[in-house]
Structure 1
Amino acid sequence: MVASPAADDGPVVSESGACAPEVRHPITLGSPEFVAAPQAHCTWLRTHAPVYRGRIDSALVDQDVWIVSRYADCKSLLTDDRFPRSPAGGPAIAEGMPDHLRLLSESMIYKDSHEHRRLRRLVAKPFTPRAIERLGRRVSELAHGLLDELESREVVDLRSEFALPVPMTVISEMVGVDEADRERFHRGIQGLLSGMGESEREVDHDEGAALAEFVRELIERRRRAPGDDLLTGLIQAEEQGERLADDELAAMVFTLVTAGYETTYNLITNAVVALLDHPDQLALLRADPALMGSAVEEAVRYLGPVQSSEALTAAEDVTWHGRTIPAGSLVLPLLAAANHDPAVFAAPETFDITRGPNHHLGFGHGEHFCLGANLARMEARVALDALLRRNPGLALAVDREQLALEAVPMLVRYRSLPVHLG
């Protein structure tokens, strides 16, 4: 039975004391109602139902899901062996997905314990601090090159014309996609990531399937002609005599693309929105660029691009806060709620780039902590630094109310971000 508010709950009130929009039940991740007022829903969940049976509803996934919303509970859940990512039979969230998306179930993000550690060690080398530092120079070059092209424009869609091309190019170069194949690769990525919204019921998976085919072609190409790129390194890598199988290789590329590209460009976009929404914080950052690292961390906490970790599955019946989660159920730690938990963060609805400590869960926790977190942080820092240094008059080119979020479960993704660079 779906949890519902008690009869005497009354209207939802935000932590600032203001009356929030009505919360409709069952709470459905990705629904227009949730997207329109995520923190109102998060507040209700933390206050009234810290373990709640809701739904995740999109063109790809339509399932009941247990939602955990308090910071301490989310952090505990992410290291609890009773909630694996891939129980016997594979991750529950993969059921019903098309073949090219089911391939992701071979990725390390859906593996546990030894298998996860084996795959993570094989792919970790390009994400060391030294490797990330070397990539920083390339990111700066890309960011300034894009701004050179855009500076004469009256209006720029910062999302698609700046925030997106930076990580897209970086991940293409890391994987070893030749210049001639970039358009095909990028088109496939867009197909893979499109159609996730609640309203997009008729989804054409041809582009996503084409990406899977291209990745397999690329693997064979790199076997025959190795290059100085991540994919070649993965093909050649060994861990105690073990190598990646073809499905594991393809799944690893899919994972790097979806995590390293989708998350990063939305982080850059969302950080700009947060700064423009808070001109005092933008002025503070301009006055002291050394706060850029802290500003990026606060953007991850306040308006992070990912609202939840990957889905977990209850391996046994678990009773928590008076609710019994049946074995086999899909469970999501709602990181967006945890990162606004007043039990951990003072004034959680305040965007404060000097916040410290800032132990947000935006990149997860435990053994599945995001491998690409430092790459995403670096790309956001470098891109935002170039943007703000060169554009002292940066401003929205539309009314704030016209910025629309896409109805996508577990992601915070603006449709566009029209600005005057100034």
Structure 2
Amino acid sequence: MDHPPFDIISSSFHADPFPELDRMRAEGPVVSIKLPIVGRTWLAVTYDACAELLKDHENFARDHANAGSKTQERVLRFLPRTIGLLALNMLGHDDPEHRRLRGLVDQAFQRRSITALSPMINQIADRLLDRLEGQSEAELMAKYCRYVPLSVICAMLGLPEKDHDRFKSWLGGLRDTANIGTVILAIPGVIQVVRYLRRTSRPRGGAQPEGLIATLREVQIDGQRLSEDELVSMIFLLFGAGQETTTHLIAGGLLELLSREDQLRLLRSDPGLMPSCVEECLRYVSPIQMTKPRFVTRDMEWMGRNFKRGNMIAALLAAANCDPARFERPQVFDIARHPNPHLSFGTGVHFCLGFQLARVEAAVGIERLLLRFPNLRLNRGVSIRWHKRLGIRALTALPVRLET
């Protein structure tokens, strides 16, 4: 008897992903699945398979052209050129082009100490929490979790604070990427963002001179700089990666803490557990559920499956992060878990550029909130719901009570 198709998109899956992830791993380290827009693809669903996939750049390419695949090309053909240029970012390239782009952005990032950003992140968090003072209840996703990373990445990029709300409005439609109709409706907002970034990233375009945009514009290796299209694409990538994923890390982490009195009490009694708490939030929540697809470069057998050149395959990080072959009691949320070798930032040459920033933002965001509101708890009168999304585990809202 054929098993029912795997589901990694629905709200019910995101509310409790573990049973479905267990079912997928029971079929083997790699499973076949049909996804919206991209169609039939493969997913690595064990820890070892995900890690090997992400490190093997000979058999699995990020650039579809290096595997003879035209799937991505066909999708991009239907999108405006303004949207297509966003594929120029380093995530869509293999070496040596990936190495060139990564080297340029790494150099720009190295000029900033992430630790030195903590005071700014604290100020941003406190300013947002000031607005909640005196309220008995609040919806933290809209009032706090989304705005902490949004404000931080805009400040890091050197964008004027007055433009933060415009960004939220422009990109708001991209929260349901499983629905092709919703994606199409979001295109005008994305085009607005690209036009704004192109204008702002030019000399005297309005970006602050100490921000990442100005640094990326000037940085060079062996006399090479980013082209204007590459610069715009890189800024868009940094904005998306630096804002949305951390939003869902903070919100999802808070939900898990507030749902477990023992873990919340342990963290309050021992603030030194915050680093390991953040790591457990990264593992357990897995805000980034899966990686961008790789493309098989040759006909081959791998992990017991037969692949054709051009086949698509992605690493399901959420499955790797709860693989019982790697983690003891993987379905238990344990803020003192150690070691915690989760794959939430990926591995290999595409390891997440902003991993340090995400950790600091989550730690500061959770810590400031818990300090300001010692009686913080979930609002049991409002149900918790999750977005229907592919690749992102995102709460629709986080309703809480702030005071007794």
TM-score norm. by structure 2 comes to 0.92
Please tell me whether residue 164 in structure 1 is matched to residue 146 in structure 2.
yes
C-alpha distance 128-298 of structure 1, shift in aligned 2 (>3 A): farther
Contact 2:171 2:190 survives alignment (8 Å): yes
What is the distance in 2 between the residues matched to 1:318 and 1:31? Answer: 32
CA deviation after TM superposition for structure 1 residue 254, in Å = 1.0
Change (3 A) 1:272 1:37: closer
User: CA 1:277–1:255 in structure 2 vs 1: closer, same or farther (change >3 Å)?
Assistant: same
Residue by residue over 1:207-229, the C-alpha shift from the partner in whole angstroms, topping out at 9 and shown as x without a partner, is 11111111111122546987111
Query: For the structure 1 residues 271 and 224, does the alpha-carbon distance in structure 2 shift closer, same or farther, using more than 3 Å as the test?
Result: closer
Amino acid in the other structure paired with 2:402: L
Q: CA deviation at 1:338?
A: 0.5
Deviates more, 1:208-217 or 1:291-300: 208-217
User: What residue number does 1:29 align with?
Assistant: 8
Q: Is the 8 A contact 2:298 2:310 kept in 1?
A: yes
**1:406/1:253 CA distance change after superposition, 3 Å:** same
C-alpha distance in 2 between matches for 1:180 and 1:275: 33
Is residue 78 from structure 1 mapped to residue 31 from structure 2 by the alignment? no
The answer to which structure, 1 or 2, has the higher relative contact order (CA under 8 A, 6+ apart) is: 2
1:378 and 1:32, CA in 2 relative to 1: closer, same or farther beyond 3 A?
closer
The CA distance in 1 between the partners of 2:183 and 2:50, in whole Å, is 33
Instruction: Say if 2:35 is the partner of 1:66.
Output: no
Contact 1:94 / 1:105 at 8 angstroms: preserved in 2? no
Residue 293 of structure 1 aligns to which amino acid in structure 2? Answer: P
* Matching residue's letter, 1:155: E
**What secondary structure is seen at the aligned counterpart in 1 of 2:96?**
helix
**What SS does the aligned partner of 1:64 have?**
strand
Confirm or deny: 8 A CA contact 1:185 1:214 kept in the other structure: no
Give, in angstroms, the shift of residue 67 of structure 1: 0.9
Aligned mates of 2:267, 2:109 — CA distance in 1: 27
Aligned residue number for residue 395 of structure 2: 414
- Cα separation, 1, equivalents of 2:256 and 2:71: 35
Contact 1:129–1:374 at 8 Å: present in 2 too? no
Q: 1:109 and 2:86 equivalent?
A: no
Greater shift in the superposed pair: 215-224 or 404-413: 215-224
Report the Cα distance in structure 2 between the residues aligned to 1:28 and 1:200, rounded to whole angstroms: 20
Question: Is this contact kept in 2: 1:107–1:255, CA < 8 A?
Answer: yes
Q: Deviations over 1:133-152 (max 9, x none)?
A: 11111000011111111121
> Residue 336 of structure 2 is aligned with which of 351, 354, 368?
354
Is contact 1:339–1:362 with CA below 8 Å preserved after alignment? yes
Give the letter for the 1:132 counterpart: I
- Residue by residue over 1:215-269, the C-alpha shift from the partner in whole angstroms, topping out at 9 and shown as x without a partner, is 1111225469871111111110101111001111011011011110011111000
- Matched with 1:148 is 130
Distance in 2 (alpha carbons) for counterparts of 1:46 and 1:335: 12
1:49 aligned residue (28, 45, 53): 28
**What is the CA deviation profile of residues 361-400 of structure 1, one whole-angstrom value per residue up to 9, with x for unaligned ones?**
0110011110001001000001111011121111111357
| CA distance in structure 1 between the aligned counterparts of 2:14 and 2:181, rounded to whole angstroms | 15
Q: Is the 8 A contact 1:302 1:340 kept in 2?
A: yes
Report if aligned partners of 1:404, 1:415 keep a CA contact under 8 Å in 2.
yes
Question: 2:275 maps to what in 1?
Answer: 293
Q: Quick one: which of 304, 310, 323 aligns to 2:305?
A: 323
Match of 2:210 in 1: 228
Structure 1 residues 394 and 128, CA gap change in structure 2 (3 angstroms): farther
Cα offset for 1:343? 0.6
Q: Could you list the runs of 5+ residues in structure 2 that have no partner in the other structure?
A: none
The count of aligned residue pairs is: 396
Question: Which residue, 309, 315, 318 being the options, matches 1:336?
Answer: 318
Higher mean alpha-carbon deviation, 285-294 vs 172-181, is at 172-181
Q: Which residue of 2 aligns with 1:21?
A: none
Deviations, residues 176-215 of structure 1 (Å, cap 9, x unaligned): 2223433333322324x33413485574121111111111
Seen in structure 2, the aligned counterparts of structure 1 residues 4 and 331 have a Cα distance that, compared at 3 Å, is: farther
Distance 1:229 1:129 in 2: 10
Per the alignment, residue 88 of structure 1 pairs with 65
Deviates more, 1:205-214 or 1:373-382: 205-214
Change in Cα spacing, 1:143 to 1:118, as seen in structure 2 (3 Å) is: same
